[in-house]
Structure 1
Amino acid sequence: MTTSASSPPMYRPDRAALLFIDPYNDFLSEGGKLWPQLAPVAEKYDVIANLQAVSRAARNAGLRIFIVPHHRAEPDDFAGWDHPTPYQLASSEMQIFARGQWGGEWRPEFAPQPGDVVVKEHMSSSGFANTDLDLQLRQHGITHLILIGMIANTCVETTAKFAVELGYHVTLVRDATAALSLEAMHAAHDINGPTYAHVILTSAELLPVLQPLQRIQS
């Protein structure tokens, strides 16, 4: 088992939540604008199947799901901005997750379900910055976060680091995310992750931890 600080805790359904970051077609579906760049890593780690398995297990265990979406692109999003980032400018030029288009819709099996919380869209990499994520988590009594989704070394990492700064317990799932290169995955989980994440697991390591909760709930 791979951990950065400790073995996984018992994820209490009243205190733990799954953060699913950016489950958009442009990231996760054949024909998506960034899928060709992500596919080699995503397919190597069987990411789509792992995302399905982890999100299903979390639901069955009674954990609340928080969908943490990136801003849906519109033309001239950053016109007049003083300091748009290179990532923002490139995303705007490509119209990644364009509002009203297929790429900016949820991959169907990862769409929000009744009881899920869809957080306000984030403009850069952190799901917390200028959104209601922290408020929503605290109002639901959440203290422990399991993060999955896209992309490992940008939105997942930045959201996870922000969560730690705010006092949350953070678990990363190394094969329920992908990146544009194997080097970026290595940096996210083997170099940067152990400096802040409380636990780093594979999907195969996480699922047995959630299964006892399913038995408790049933």
Structure 2
Amino acid sequence: MSLSPHPYPATRTAVVLIDPLNDFLAPNGKLNGQIGPMLDRTGLHAQLARLAAGAREAGVPVFYAPHGLHEGVFDDVRHVLPRFRFAVDNQVFWEGTDGADFYPPLRPQEGDVVVGRHHMFDSFAGTDLHEQLTARGIEHVVLAGLTSQTCVEGTGRHALEAGYHVTFLTDAVADFTEEAHRAALEISYPTYGHEVTTVDGFLAAVVPAPAA
């Protein structure tokens, strides 16, 4: 893991927060009972808030990449993964419900960018994430959120293939189990990321935009 990553130009870098939604993070969220212990262990709520605030202060745009499901969302998918079938059957991240809304302390603020809702693990697939990034001249994507081994990793893999410089933040992600979390941090992120660092390491390496 790199603790002193290369410089991040504020004008060409974006933080992408993946799935900071009530069904994960709120006490009454449909998945909170399962992931809650790991959220507590990683201190994810506070880490994501600190990351978003630090990025905004440094002039780095914050992108939100939320999950979202609805009736018929997988009608054209011949082989639906059981965990997604469970999500549909239980209306997890169901669009129009409180569970699919952003966790209040992490709601987007003025100037943030909210992209279309992804349905599986890749925040690029079927959304406008790539278009929104390229429209702003973004070359470096810094990934955080939920979950370590699924949507964060899946989005990072796509970002790599699409030609972005990819950074994973090890202390701004969480997963349902320690095993899945560690597999992402120790195996997947060093494989698919140009940099694997911490919130502090990233923020310390941001190069502010030149004064107008």
Q: Which TM bucket (shorter chain)?
A: over 0.9
Distance 1:173 1:80 in 2: 34
Distance 1:7 1:36 in 2: 36
Q: Secondary structure at the match of 2:34?
A: helix
Q: State the Cα deviation string for residues 91-132 of structure 1 (Å, max 9, x = none).
A: 111211122221111111211212211111112110111211
Name 2:11's counterpart in structure 1. Answer: 14
- Contact 2:67–2:100 (CA<8 Å) still a contact in 1? no
**For residue 86 of structure 2, what is the amino acid of its counterpart?**
A
> Could you state the TM-score of these two structures normalised by the residue count of structure 1?
0.90
Distance 2:124 2:76 in 1: 24
Name 2:23's counterpart in structure 1. Answer: 26
Name 1:108's counterpart in structure 2. Answer: 104
Q: State the Cα deviation string for residues 146-200 of structure 1 (Å, max 9, x = none).
A: 1111111000000001000111111111121110001001110101111110111
From 35, 44, 47, the counterpart of 1:47: 44
Q: Does residue 1:174 correspond to 2:170, yes or no?
A: yes
Q: Percent same amino acid among aligned pairs? A: 38
CA shift at 1:87, angstroms? 2.3
Q: Secondary structure at the match of 1:99?
A: coil
**For residue 20 of structure 2, what is the amino acid of its counterpart?**
P
Name 2:147's counterpart in structure 1. Answer: 151
Matched pairs, number: 212
- Contact 1:23–1:107 (CA<8 Å) still a contact in 2? yes
Q: State the Cα deviation string for residues 37-74 of structure 1 (Å, max 9, x = none).
A: 11111111111111011110000000111111112x33
**For residue 11 of structure 2, what is the amino acid of its counterpart?**
D
Alignment of 1:1-218 (within 5 A): 2-3=1-2, 7-71=4-68, 73-79=69-75, 81-210=77-206, 213=208
Query: 1:92 and 1:195, CA in 2 relative to 1: closer, same or farther beyond 3 A?
Result: same
In structure 2, list runs of 5 or more residues that go unmatched: none
> Could you state the TM-score of these two structures normalised by the residue count of structure 2?
0.92
CA shift at 1:76, angstroms? 4.7
Distance 1:205 1:63 in 2: 15
**For residue 190 of structure 2, what is the amino acid of its counterpart?**
P
CA shift at 1:7, angstroms? 4.2
In structure 1, list runs of 5 or more residues that go unmatched: none
Distance 2:195 2:77 in 1: 37
**For residue 170 of structure 1, what is the amino acid of its counterpart?**
V
- Contact 1:7–1:199 (CA<8 Å) still a contact in 2? no
